[in-house]
Amino acid sequence: MDNQGFLKDKVGFATIAIHAGQDPEKWNSAAVVPPIVTSTTFKQPAPAEHTGFEYGRSGNPSRNTLEECLAALDGGSHAVTFASGLATTNTLVALLNKGDHVLSSDDVYGGTNRLFRNVSTRQGIEVSFTDFTDINKVKNAIQDNTKMIWLETPTNPLLKVVDIAAVVKLVKSIRGDILVVVDNTFLTCYLQRPLEFGADIVMYSLTKYMNGHSDVIMGAAIVKDSALNDKLRFLQNAMGAVPSPFDCYLINRSLKTLALRMERHRTSSLAIAKWLQKHPKITEVMHPGLPTHPQYEIAKKQTSGHSGVFSFNHSGGLKESRKFLMSLKVFTLAESLGGYESLAELPLLMTHASVPAEQRAELGITESLVRLSVGLEDTEDLIEDLKQALDASF
Ligand SMILES: *Cc1c(COP(=O)(O)O)cnc(C)c1O
């Protein structure tokens, strides 16, 4: 099956999403839909003997069901879930010791930037940022105390694509013990599977596409290595930022339609990006599915296409951005991304307001940069909405 030069969709993905970890036989009731188990404690047949579960923070049947499905979808062996994407990041940083260094890609999620700069550094972790699309910059930024590489691809909000395999190859040739973490929130395992390119950890804000319904905050880390899983399991329990069984149920349910949703996000966003490219008031469209994207070839090599989130620049300033965003009728002016509903936002004043002004200017997060999250509405209606809002603003 041709996917316009991008990687073929993973064979069996939808089947895994629907069946991995879901066997009815594991429940006494043989329930086909995994139950929500709210019990915080589990009966022990004898003191200090248990039948798989003892206390809800260290393990819960609804959570384990979700974790099994997540691990299978990314081609990992274990998944560990947390109360949010940032709780996941914070727990991953806790794998490190005081004095260790994290090298992060420069345009990461605003909250990740804030956590690294304002929290991790106070706890004695050294953090620096560089442009991961230039492998030489990555090479030069690795220090003797570097223990973790943090990368997001595509980046947020500028949609730069980082060559995961090239970064892994470089990092592992310098020192095998440096962990490579890929924040895969923007694409999901349907479109990109970083473990297959040698990454040690795939990290998600499940809040976005993986859940896809904008009604749960949650995060996960997926690994192949069981020693690493043991460390994360320990931290999940020791630090305690665990998700609720209700939320685990919702994400597990959402994964059943992940393949269908991502297919629609992929086609609709590409059609809209192409339409915007031709609009006279649009100066630049940053979408890795467009042949004009500077890392189009890398995107084709490591993804099965792009999701619904992308950015563009228009020829106006702050006034036009405000007018445009407030004129939209189908798109909702709001932060976040990855839901069934289309959203639009201004990174400068919203998602990336916590990034230092100097770094924002350097990256190109300007008054005219708008980020869209193309949802699952009819593509024609979305284009019509963008058209009327642009007409009203210029
Ligand atoms: C939202 C987001 C996060 C943070 O996740 P929360 O679930 O909001 O804590 C991290 N990375 C990316 C790319 C995100 O979009």
Identify the residue whose C-alpha is closest to ligand 1 atom 1.
205
213 and 312 co-located in one domain = no
Identify the residue whose C-alpha is closest to ligand 1 atom 6.
85
- C-alpha 121/C-alpha 330 separation (Å) is 41
152 and 275 co-located in one domain = no
For the CA of 207, the nearest atom of ligand 1: 7
7 inside domain:
no
Per-chain mean pLDDT for the chain: 96
Domain-terminating residue out of 255, 289, 315: 255
pLDDT digits (tens, 9 = 90+) for 87-108: 999 999 999 999 999 999 988 8
197 and 65 co-located in one domain = yes
For the CA of 338, the nearest atom of ligand 1: 15
pLDDT confidence tier of residue 3, bands split at 50, 70 and 90: confident
269 and 251 co-located in one domain = no
1 inside domain:
no
Residues tagged active-site: 57, 109, 183, 208
Spatial CB neighbours of 310, under 8 Å, sequence gap ≥ 6: 159, 269, 273, 285, 286, 287, 288, 371, 372, 374
Give the residue among 202, 108, 164 at the shortest CA–CA distance from 301. 164
Which residues, judged by CB distance below 6 Å to any ligand atom, belong to the binding site of ligand 1? 84-86, 109, 111-112, 152, 156, 183, 185-186, 205, 207-208, 217, 219
**Is the pLDDT reported for residue 356 higher than 90?**
no
- Residue 329: Cβ within 10 Å count: 10
pLDDT digits (tens, 9 = 90+) for 300-326: 999 999 999 999 999 999 999 999 999
**Is the pLDDT reported for residue 256 higher than 80?**
yes
CA of 189 to the centre of ligand 1 (A): 16
290 inside domain:
yes
Label the pairing between strands 146-152 and 126-130: unpaired
269 inside domain:
yes
Domain that holds residue 197: 13-255
Q: Are 92 and 68 in contact (CB under 8 A)?
A: no
78 inside domain:
yes
pLDDT digits (tens, 9 = 90+) for 217-252: 999 999 999 999 999 999 999 999 999 999 999 999
Helices (H), ranges, 183-332: 188-191, 226-239, 245-254, 258-277, 296-302, 318-327
**Is the pLDDT reported for residue 2 higher than 80?**
no
**Is the pLDDT reported for residue 179 higher than 90?**
yes
The whole-number pLDDT of residue 355 equals 82
Cα-Cα-Cα-Cα dihedral sign, residues 149, 153, 156, 160: positive
Provide the domain count of the chain: 2
224 and 264 co-located in one domain = no
Domain-terminating residue out of 221, 255, 289: 255
Main-chain phi, psi angles of 151, to 5 degrees: -135, 150
99 inside domain:
yes
Distances (CA, A) of 391 to 269, 281, 320, 327, 370: 20, 9, 10, 9, 16
The whole-number pLDDT of residue 36 equals 98
CB < 8 Å & 24+ apart, contacts of 325-331: 325/370, 325/389, 327/388, 327/389, 327/392, 327/393, 328/385, 328/386, 328/389, 329/385, 329/388, 329/389, 330/377, 330/381, 330/382, 330/384, 330/385, 331/372, 331/382, 331/385, 331/386, 331/389
CA of 225 to the centre of ligand 1 (A): 24
Substitution site in 153, 162, 185 for ligand 1 pocket (most atoms within 8 Å of beta carbon): 185
Substitution site in 151, 208, 250 for ligand 1 pocket (most atoms within 8 Å of beta carbon): 208
CA of 86 to the centre of ligand 1 (A): 6
The whole-number pLDDT of residue 359 equals 86
For the CA of 152, the nearest atom of ligand 1: 13
222 and 311 co-located in one domain = no
115 and 235 co-located in one domain = yes
Identify the residue whose C-alpha is closest to ligand 1 atom 12.
109
Angle, to 10 degrees, between the axis of helix 379-393 and the axis of helix 258-277? 40
pLDDT digits (tens, 9 = 90+) for 200-225: 999 999 999 999 999 999 999 999 99
CA of 338 to the centre of ligand 1 (A): 11
Q: What is the mean pLDDT of residues 265-270?
A: 98
**Is the pLDDT reported for residue 171 higher than 60?**
yes
Identify the residue whose C-alpha is closest to ligand 1 atom 2.
205
pLDDT digits (tens, 9 = 90+) for 115-155: 999 999 999 999 999 999 999 999 999 999 999 999 999 99
The whole-number pLDDT of residue 1 equals 54
For the CA of 218, the nearest atom of ligand 1: 7
pTM of the complete model: 0.95
